[in-house]
């Protein structure tokens, strides 16, 4: 098996991975960034709509908003680090280095407001902030740094020896090689591919979480899976597929940014009534877990929930969203049908704010990491921020150690007897199971059913990944592993808090 090496290996091409690679290169490190994405659209970061929150006048209000949205489960020290480094990180990388064209109001930035924020503090580019950042970030790494970017390169497994990570097995064009590294940073994004309805692209298969867990790294808070309350309700627009998948095909759901509600959009049920003011004092701008639960309830009770944008300059302020709605046959003036969809995993590989995990030389940043910032429910427009801040810090820490070659078990040749559509059919089964039993509401019986089904599925998948090295099989393995981690954590935690709701128990988080 061929072998390559570098001082630092970054796995993942979203904002966290790019920030880690940039900072490692700035520190003088020899850096390789491996991403399975063939284009920026395959990263979660690309699809971030709302923007990136920064501290403005009083940092205490930002800290308080994060902690309140997180339902008391945030790590205060982690929140303090995020808030104190928010503006310096954004100014350094996004403004001074990348010159991201954030929207302005005259000579000043046009700060937006989203759910659970007490003030307008969100930098944005229309409602397509991630799409404005990622292509120029990758281009900058390619053209202005010594970082080697390897696209369409899938990490299959971590290389470990005596409790340390020494790199990863990489697959490209069917060929598997080993890449040894002194420091390895996982920045692989979320787990949305385990659910039928998600705002994530198909590539969000929980790779980093699964590889880290299988290598023995600690995980935490996996029960806290956030559902965004306002994704297009495909059941009401004539779509025959609930699966979101690759958003570029526009056959499934897509996100309607909270920025729309921040500009005056309101939620109405099937009877045309505003229901959020009776549920939370912040109305349609309540925390995501609150709004998602209310939308699901009203949708079931009255048949539909629509986002009323009649008081919003929708076409002018959100031209991309307006265009996508009309392409799907939805006239925004009639109200946009919405329903909750899986959006963000607040848990992941247990890591500190420098990205350090429980395994030596392994770092994690972005959605695959659990730093304690988000607690039980993430505050809007803090995902890009966390990826930027923690990715930047992890990149600094992942340099300074020379790669060391260790013994690696070489994967077997591909098994020619893999049944047709095996991976796609098993993935469909996984998504149906997670959507039915591990969604907005969980019960002990449902979680037990999910565990039984997914364990059986994992056994079937493992039988083939031992003999075959295709990307789709390893993604399926990773999705089943992360799904089991979610089910296990949800089963062990009978307290309803934030985005984890156990409807069969009276144990409630009391603020």
- Between the alpha carbon of residue 137 and those of residues 99, 134, 420, the distances in Å are 10, 5, 39
E-strand ranges in 257-332 read: 266-269, 305-308
Two structure tokens written together for 237: 């627009």
- Tell me the β-bridge partners of 339: 231
- Based on the number of CB atoms within 10 Å of its own CB, is 148 exposed (0-12), middle (13-18) or buried (19 or more)? middle
DSSP-derived 3-state class of residue 368: helix
- Tell me the β-bridge partners of 60: none
Please enumerate in sequence order all residues whose Cβ is within 8 A of that of 142, keeping only pairs 6 or more positions apart, or say none. Answer: 149
Two structure tokens written together for 35: 């991403």
Cα gap 154→471, rounded to integer Å: 7
Cα gap 352→365, rounded to integer Å: 9
Cα gap 6→125, rounded to integer Å: 35
Cα gap 80→82, rounded to integer Å: 5
- Based on the number of CB atoms within 10 Å of its own CB, is 302 exposed (0-12), middle (13-18) or buried (19 or more)? middle
Residue 193's region, left for phi above 0, alpha for psi from -120 to 50, else beta, is: alpha
Q: What angle do CA 26, 365, 85 make, to 5 degrees?
A: 65
Residue 84 CB coordination number (10 Å): 15
Catalytic residue among 261, 288, 328, 431: 288
Please enumerate in sequence order all residues whose Cβ is within 8 A of that of 316, keeping only pairs 6 or more positions apart, or say none. Answer: none
401 neighbors 28 (Cβ within 8 angstroms): no
Backbone angles phi, psi at 337, to 5 degrees: -65, 130
Cα gap 269→295, rounded to integer Å: 8
For residue 55, the 8-state DSSP code is -
288 is catalytic: yes
Two structure tokens written together for 159: 């290389």
Catalytic residues: 288
């Amino acid at each position: 098996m061929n072998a390559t090496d570098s001082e630092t290996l970054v796995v993942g091409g979203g904002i966290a991975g790019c920030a880690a690679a940039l900072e490692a290169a700035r520190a003088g490190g020899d850096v390789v960034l491996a991403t399975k994405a063939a284009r920026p659209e395959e990263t979660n970061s690309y699809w971030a709509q709302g923007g990136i929150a920064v501290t403005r006048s009083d940092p205490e209000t930002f800290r308080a908003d994060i902690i309140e949205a997180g339902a008391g489960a945030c790590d205060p020290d982690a929140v303090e680090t995020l808030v104190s480094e928010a503006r310096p990180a954004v100014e350094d990388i996004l403004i001074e280095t990348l010159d991201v064209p954030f929207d302005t109001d005259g000579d000043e930035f046009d700060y937006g407001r989203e759910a659970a924020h007490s003030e307008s503090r969100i930098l944005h580019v229309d409602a397509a902030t991630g799409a404005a950042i990622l292509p120029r970030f990758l281009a900058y790494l390619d053209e202005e740094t010594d970082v080697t970017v390897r696209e369409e390169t899938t990490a299959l497994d971590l290389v470990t020896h005596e409790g340390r990570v020494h790199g990863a097995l990489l697959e490209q064009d069917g060929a598997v090689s080993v890449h040894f590294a002194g420091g390895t940073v996982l920045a692989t994004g979320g787990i949305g591919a385990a659910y039928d309805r998600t705002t994530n692209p198909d590539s969000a298969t929980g790779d980093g979480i699964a590889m880290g867990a299988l290598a023995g790294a600690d995980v935490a808070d996996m029960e806290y899976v956030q559902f965004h309350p306002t994704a297009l309700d495909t059941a009401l627009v004539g779509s025959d597929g609930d699966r979101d998948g690759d958003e570029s095909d526009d056959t499934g759901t897509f996100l309607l940014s909270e920025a729309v509600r921040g500009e005056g959009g309101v939620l109405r049920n099937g009877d045309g009534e505003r229901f959020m003011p009776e549920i939370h004092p912040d109305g349609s701008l309540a925390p995501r877990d609150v709004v998602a639960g209310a939308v699901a309830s009203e949708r079931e009770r009255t048949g539909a929930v629509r986002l009323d944008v009649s008081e919003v300059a929708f076409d002018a302020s959100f031209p991309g969203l307006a265009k996508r709605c009309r392409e799907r046959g939805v006239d925004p003036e009639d109200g946009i049908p919405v329903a909750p969809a899986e959006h963000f995993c607040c848990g992941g590989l247990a890591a500190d704010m420098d990205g350090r995990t429980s395994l030596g030389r392994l770092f994690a940043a972005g959605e695959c990491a659990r730093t304690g910032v988000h607690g039980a429910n993430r505050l809007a427009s803090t995902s890009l921020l966390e990826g930027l801040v923690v990715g930047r810090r992890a990149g600094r820490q992942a340099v300074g150690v020379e790669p060391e070659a260790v013994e690696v078990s070489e994967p077997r040749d591909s098994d020619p007897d893999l049944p047709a559509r095996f991976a796609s059919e098993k993935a469909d089964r996984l998504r149906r199971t997670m959507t039915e039993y591990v969604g907005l509401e969980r019960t002990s019986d449902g979680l037990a059913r999910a565990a039984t089904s997914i364990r059986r599925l994992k056994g079937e998948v493992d039988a083939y990944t031992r003999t075959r090295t295709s990307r789709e099989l390893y993604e399926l393995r990773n999705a089943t592993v992360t799904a089991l981690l979610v089910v296990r954590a949800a089963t062990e935690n009978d307290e309803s808090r934030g985005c984890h709701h156990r409807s069969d128990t009276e144990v409630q988080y009391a603020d």
